[in-house]
Amino acid sequence: MKQQSTSESYTGWYLALVVVLAVLIFLFQQFTSFFA
Amino acid sequence: MHALDWIVLMLTLTGVVFYGIRKSKTTRDLDGYFRSNQNLSWGLVLLGIMGTQASAITFLSAPGQGFTDGMRFVQYYFGIPLAMIVISAFFVPRFRQWNVITAYEYLEHRFDGKTRTLTSLLFFLQRGLSTGISIFAPSLILSSLLGWNIYWTNLFMGGLLIIYTLSGGARAVAYTQQLQFAIILLSMFLAGYLLVHLMPEQVGFVDALDISGKLGKLNVITDGMTAKGFNWGDNYNIWSGIIGGFFLALSYFGTDQSQVGRFLTGKSVRESRLGLLMNGLVKIPMQFLILLVGALLFSYYSFERAPLIFNQVQEERIQRSAYRDSFQLAQVRYDSFQSIKRRVATEYVQAGGQGSVQASLLIPKLQQAQTEADAVRKQVKGWLNDRVPGGDGNDTNYIFIRFVLDHLPAGLVGLLIAMIFLASWGSIAAAINSLAACSMVDLHNRFAKYPAEGEQAYRLSKWYTLGWGVFCIVVAMFTYNIGNSLIEAVNILGSLFYGVILGVFLVALFIPVIRNATAVFWGLIIGELIVLGVFFSGYFFPDRFKIGFLWLNPIGAGAVVVFSLLLSVRMGQKNPRQVTGIDKLS
């Protein structure tokens, strides 16, 4: 059975995704209120 | 269609088919055919994931949604980045560790054969039918607008892709998705650019956004609150998007074989993970831009004459019905409100638009004209839905393509129509490939007396691919005869099963204490009954108990987890073999 390494850390990536989502929601909120 | 459009369309489609055939070389076994020997880079994995999710309807419907309901539809995708994290951290390593070809194979390692077979069968039911619909839906739109024969359109929409899907399996699907996606993005960019370019000279990009925003189309973030509190029936607000969308994305990307089959082609755990994580980064901005095209289209039609009904076939139908005179009167009223809107919008821009006090005084007039025009459109759509025989008032999917056909130059029309075919092919090819994988791995080799291996399994897989391709085209042909009821039924079907399948995977991956396979199997059945109960309560009593379909996913997943836990406590831990499925990476 193929065993693959899973030890590499992806915490930075996961954090980046959460931050990007938060930033996008913030920007979308600003966009919505600016043109409302 | 202009001759140049036909040339562009034919060249693009045949080019993609030949490219797919050229990229078909893999080993002649199950690993080569269904996982491309696990040798693809994260970029191909990413485009495979995106190309599988985005069907033709995505590119037709999203601008239409932006036009009619505004940009709040983008919130539907807010759960994706979070789901990508969970899939990347927990699903990918487990699937890779067990070296599975299908997601459901893992469930046998963790639980037992009947749980694997049941989830696999639910996948066949849902994916097999919905793929037929995803052939039919864009075919109907093109045949309505261009006067093409629906059966031939279905055949081209669902047939040509079988050539490369059959010949090269997952590898050909991945490489063609890469090319298809490049063509799709180029076409959408050109359409968006020309849309702004075609606006009146004094209307710039920001003015166009401004008009759209003042008329409620740039409502990207909504909170779902009404005077009576939170609206559970509203699918597109920030909470349903993040919570409901998270569970839907977790289920779709983590347990639907059409997606699992894409990220299992990655050449390592790292490549599979990066493909998924990048999808989490780029999906929301991409959908935002597609919806923005719809919002800009709305601005465009604030300065140009807009059709009252964007689907010409329906317009002709109402003209031939008893509502002919009423429709003509409605058209006159609609035109007059539009002409007021056009005049006020022009004055608004000339007065300085956003930030100008003089311009802000015109906003109530603009909104009034829009409300009046919307009321006429709603009335006509109501006639089509309820009173005109064979009528269908929903023209959201026709708005963008009608603009393309009416206003874009020759050549580009052909490219945009090719884009619709290619967007369809990307998701249909992945679906057919995954249906064949499950047929071969989860059913044939699981139940055959002598499971097929090597070259024999490869040849059988090709037959299954052909079989599913033909099945989906037949479903598309039947859908034309049965009509909208089938489309609605299939769409509902998906939301009824996704949550509970996810629940089984959540138990498998996150609750090692549940070891009794029978408890999980019955947990799944009870979870499904609860989802059906909630759905039908909303269906029969919409006034008292209406709940948006996105919420069915967390309800289904939660019910399976809770009942599996309760039943496993009640039944005890009987089945020792499943423990191996979870403990290796712990």
> Residue B581 has what pLDDT?
45
Q: Is the pLDDT reported for residue B586 higher than 50?
A: no
Q: Is the pLDDT reported for residue A31 higher than 80?
A: yes
As a three-state string, the secondary structure of B218-271 is CCCCCCCEECCEECCCCCCCHHHHHHHHHHHHHHHHHHCHHHHHHHCCECCHHH
| Residue B308 to residues B71, B155, B335, B336, B464, Cα–Cα distance (Å) | 21, 31, 8, 12, 46
Confidence of residue B94 (pLDDT cuts 50, 70, 90): very high
Closest CA–CA distance from residue A22 to any residue of chain B (Å)? 10
Closest CA–CA distance from residue A6 to any residue of chain B (Å)? 6
Q: Is the pLDDT reported for residue B583 higher than 60?
A: no
Q: Does B363 touch chain A (CB under 8 A)?
A: no
Q: pTM for the full model?
A: 0.90
Positive/negative CA dihedral, B418, B277, B397, B466:
positive
Q: Is the pLDDT reported for residue B353 higher than 60?
A: yes
- Which pLDDT tens digit goes with each residue over B132-181? 988 998 998 899 889 999 999 999 999 999 999 999 999 999 999 999 99
Q: Does B212 touch chain A (CB under 8 A)?
A: yes
What is the rounded CA–CA span in Å between residue B479 and residue B487?
A: 7
Q: Does B311 touch chain A (CB under 8 A)?
A: no
Which residues in chain A are contacts of B84 at CB distance < 8 A?
A: 17
Cβ atoms within 10 Å, residue B102: 24
Name the average pLDDT for chain B: 90
> Residue B486 has what pLDDT?
63
Q: Is the pLDDT reported for residue B537 higher than 80?
A: yes
Supply angle C-alpha B487, B439, B16, rounded to 5: 70
Partnered with residue B40 across adjacent β-strands are B266
> Residue B261 has what pLDDT?
95
Q: Is the pLDDT reported for residue B71 higher than 80?
A: yes
Mean per-residue pLDDT, B315-336: 93
> Residue B491 has what pLDDT?
66
Which residues in chain B are contacts of A15 at CB distance < 8 A?
A: none
Q: Is the pLDDT reported for residue B355 higher than 70?
A: yes
3-state secondary structure of B565: helix
Q: Does A3 touch chain B (CB under 8 A)?
A: yes
Name the average pLDDT for chain A: 84
Q: What is the dihedral of CA B114, B120, B126, B128, to 10 degrees?
A: -130
Q: Does A21 touch chain B (CB under 8 A)?
A: yes
Contact A35 B212 (CB under 8 A): yes
Contact A17 B280 (CB under 8 A): yes
Closest CA–CA distance from residue A23 to any residue of chain B (Å)? 12
Confidence of residue B356 (pLDDT cuts 50, 70, 90): confident
Q: What is the dihedral of CA B581, B583, B584, B586, to 10 degrees?
A: 130
Which residues in chain A are contacts of B208 at CB distance < 8 A?
A: none
Q: Is B56 exposed, middle or buried (0-12, 13-18, 19+ CB in 10 A)?
A: buried
CA nearest neighbour of B238 among A27, A18, A36, A29: A29
Q: What is the dihedral of CA B492, B494, B500, B504, to 10 degrees?
A: 180
- Read off the amino acid at residue B328: Q
- Which pLDDT tens digit goes with each residue over B485-495? 666 666 677 77
**Pairwise pLDDT comparison (B27 vs B100), residue with the higher score:** B100
Contact B93 A10 (CB under 8 A): no
> Residue B578 has what pLDDT?
45
Please answer whether residues B431 and B25 qualify as being in contact, where contact means their C-beta atoms are separated by less than 8 angstroms: no
- Which pLDDT tens digit goes with each residue over B77-91? 999 999 999 999 999
| Residue B200 to residues B14, B32, B582, Cα–Cα distance (Å) | 38, 54, 62
3-state secondary structure of B40: strand
- Give residues with Cβ within 8 angstroms of B400, minimum separation 6: B59, B60, B63, B64, B67, B191, B293, B294, B297
- Which pLDDT tens digit goes with each residue over B453-477? 999 999 999 999 999 999 999 999 9
What is the rounded CA–CA span in Å between residue B285 and residue B294?
A: 15
Please answer whether residues B182 and B51 qualify as being in contact, where contact means their C-beta atoms are separated by less than 8 angstroms: no
Cβ atoms within 10 Å, residue B268: 17
3-state secondary structure of B397: helix
Q: Is the pLDDT reported for residue B68 higher than 50?
A: yes
Helix and strand numbers (H, E) in chain A are: 1, 0
Contact A4 B89 (CB under 8 A): no
Q: Is the pLDDT reported for residue B235 higher than 80?
A: no
Q: Does A24 touch chain B (CB under 8 A)?
A: yes
Which tokens belong to B250? 């977790």
Tallying the residues shown for chain B, one arrives at 586
Measured distance between the N- and C-terminal CA atoms of chain A, rounded to whole angstroms: 58
> Residue A6 has what pLDDT?
52
Provide the number of CB pairs (under 8 Å) joining chain A to chain B. Answer: 77
